[in-house]
Amino acid sequence: MKAGRILEWLKEDYGLGRGHGMALVHVIKRGPKIDAKHVGSGGSHSDASDTLWLDGKATRPQ
């Protein structure tokens, strides 16, 4: 399924914008692992891990 259709569904049913929607599209299509280029890069989407935290920030290891 194309990302556009998933984004439309997420916007209609959950009111999600494109950024959050694309994160969920990634998880739906490819699972929670992200490309290593985002790990520790210091950018707005940087993280210390290569796994998206699907159950919220509160459960992320410090």
27 belongs to a structural domain:
yes
pLDDT tens digit string along 46-60? 677 888 777 766 776
Taking phi over 0 as left and psi of -120 to 50 as alpha, with beta for the rest, 34 belongs to beta
pLDDT given for residue 17 in this prediction:
93
Nearest CA-CA partner of 51 in 16, 38, 21, 10: 38
* 27 vs 46: CA distance, rounded Å: 17
| 51 close to 32: Cβ distance less than 8 angstroms | yes
11 belongs to a structural domain:
yes
Instruction: Provide the CA 39 distance to its chain's centre, in angstroms.
Output: 13
55 belongs to a structural domain:
no
Nearest CA-CA partner of 30 in 55, 59, 50: 50
62 belongs to a structural domain:
no
Its pTM stands at: 0.63
Bigger pLDDT: 11 vs 38: 11
